[in-house]
Chain A
Amino acid sequence: MRTIKFLLQKEFRQIFRNRAIVAMVIAMPVIQLIILPLAANYEVKNVNVAVIDKDHSSYSQKLINKIIASGYFKLTGYDFSFKQAYRLIESDAADLILEIPQGFERNLIRENEQKLFVAVNAINGTKANLGSAYLLTVIQDFNRDVRLQFIQPGNFNQQPTIDVASSNWYNPLLDYHMYMVPGILAILVTMIGGFLTALNIVKEKEVGTIEQINVTPIKKYHFILGKLIPFWILGNVVFTLGLLVARLVYGIIPVGSLFLMYGFIAVYLLAVLGLGLLISTFCETQQQAMFVMFFFVMIFVLMGGLFTSIDSMPDWAKTVTKFNPVSYLIEVMRMIMLKGSSLKNILPQLGIIAVFALVLNSLAIFNYKKTS
């Protein structure tokens, strides 16, 4: 116990003397949590649409007005040839081309039918996909309005329509911040904890101080605990700051128990720090450790279920995410923060993360060799 006391004292002194680390731990979660959720938004806005109106009728005007009024589209060009519009797409000035053919109004009234042409610039896949989907919705809506106007009173011969009214549970307004903030916080905790520990032991190797430690009768698990505990505390500080930002900036108040969240984070941090320590026992230089950690963090972040839903991944990728601790944290954070899940609900995830923590730290202790 005494040895650990001395190790902790040393480690904390070194941490607090390192301005970069202190700044990272405080500024990173605050700044990133303020910037990222505002920018990382799934909603596609500002879709640039070029309209080729060959009809110039009141109906075509109505349709265009409806499209612009939806708020998702910006009219970048109006009334020119397809060639000109195509050039707009080529220069990335337009994402969509909507062509309203000649006789649009006439055909709509007389024939009860008219085709529109939509061309999509698929370079930016997400924008193109969602943009054209929005556009189609707007056109369908327009279609329905038109149909309503045509219906003669008393004539009920129209097609029956099914209207689906959905309500979004746990995030009724589909507020993206509610969805992103817990996820981004999960990633921040992972990155700060993982990187700090991965770099720490390697730094001692680089500077040569580890040699002086290895020649003392210090126990291996003492040394590892002496590294683990300070960064575990820092991880909790980051998490607390994150919760404060979520509350003050986004007004997100966890529905579930704070105590439960800290309980899960406590175990989770052990797992992530264990990974960092394990990496640092393998690497000789900070550069190596940095790259190896990056390799894992990239996979963790992109396959963690924050930016792409795990449910829509191929089966092999779903298997990979089972070994991704971040995916469990993001899931649990959302469960507790938004849904108010209890211990019973998160028990499976907690168990898995505990196994991660145990295995990674045991490997780190095993692989840290005082004698080569």
Chain B
Amino acid sequence: MSEAVITTDKLTKRFGDFVAVSEISFEVDKGEIFGFLGANGAGKTTAMRMLCGLSIPSSGKATIAGFDVYKQTEQIKKNIGYMSQKFSLYEDLTVLENIRFFGGIYGLTDKQIKTKSDQLINQLGLQQEVKKLVVSLPLGWKQKLSFSVAVLHEPKIVFLDEPTGGVDPVTRRQFWDLIYDAADRGVTIFVTTHYMDEAEYCNRISIMVDGVIKALDTPRKLKDNFHAANMDEVFYELARGAKRSE
């Protein structure tokens, strides 16, 4: 029996006259890898920020891990991890210092931080880099590190905003291995991406165009519905009608 950890009902965000996100409704189940696709400017990041409690919606309803996005943003924050588009660990701290810092402010005990960081460093193969400043790491490693930091406190849901932007295919593949690992542990993954091959890795995907969700299904069914050979064609079919772009 699956249980929904994210539910939204006509969730909307307006900035003045501009409707960034218009009445989106969907559910995401526990342990699911949910792909959130859309062209630039379609409203993905805005939608995600509302779900993370970083931005208050203009109207509509949403609950994350059972908490309300209007009133319980701080409870939501205890239960989610977030990795933004822009790399946002402290570049002037070392790998280990970043891990300890974020572990600490999520309230992990010293013992937990110790085991978690050992585990994480082994998993990422960062033994040599532990004492290096994060600024000196290559982009791919930074991305893997920030994902690992985002799931450090064992959140119920982790939100990833274009986590593999600018990363080579091999590193992307490794990154997705990390995502699968987390999903196997029962973490729900909510991920935005521009790479259609990555979309195929998701259990279900939604495609957003101009602030509206135009399609939502498994990759296979979407391809069947649009009589498309691959996700690229599906995306192109939907997104070419877009009026907004960055």
Contacts and interface: CB of A to CB of B under 8 A. Distances in A.
Contact of A211 (B54, B56, B97): B54
- A contact patch SS: helix
A372 B15 CA distance: 12
Contacts of A208: 84, 86-88
A14 B94 CA distance: 10
Given A2-B107, A9-B101, A372-B56, A212 B88 contact: yes
B52 to A, nearest CB: 5
Interface stretch (A125-133, A151-159, A215-223, A259-267): A215-223
B106 A216 contact: yes
B54 A214 contact: yes
Contact of B90 (A14, A211, A216): A14
A9 B88 CA distance: 18
B74 interface: yes
13 contacts: A3-B105, A10-B97, A14-B90, A17-B92, A18-B92, A208-B84, A208-B88, A215-B77, A215-B80, A217-B78, A218-B105, A371-B53, A372-B56
A269 to B, nearest CB: 24
B73 A209 contact: no
B53 to A, nearest CB: 6
Contacts, number: 73
A106 interface: no
B106 A217 contact: yes
Contacts of B87: 208
Contacts of A215: 52-54, 77, 80, 82
Given A214-B54, A217-B74, 6 more contacts: A10-B90, A10-B101, A208-B88, A211-B82, A215-B77, A371-B73
B75 to A, nearest CB: 8
Contact of A371 (B54, B80, B104, B107): B54
A209 B88 contact: yes
**Among A215, A216, A218, residue most surrounded by chain B Cβ atoms (within 10 Å):** A215
A7 interface: yes
Interface of B: 52-56, 73-75, 77-78, 80, 82, 84, 86-93, 97, 100-102, 104-107, 133
B146 to A, nearest CB: 8
A370 interface: yes
Nearest to B153: A216
Given A211-B84, A211-B86, A215-B77, A5 B56 contact: no
Contacts of A62: none
Given A212-B88, A215-B77, A6 B54 contact: no
A123 interface: no
A174 B164 CA distance: 69
4 tightest A-B CB contacts, nearest first:
A6-B104, A208-B86, A215-B82, A212-B88
A287 B93 CA distance: 24
A122 to B, nearest CB: 54
B55 A6 contact: no
A164 interface: no
Contacts of A10: 90, 93, 97, 101
Given A14-B90, A207-B88, A211-B84, A2 B77 contact: no
A115 interface: no
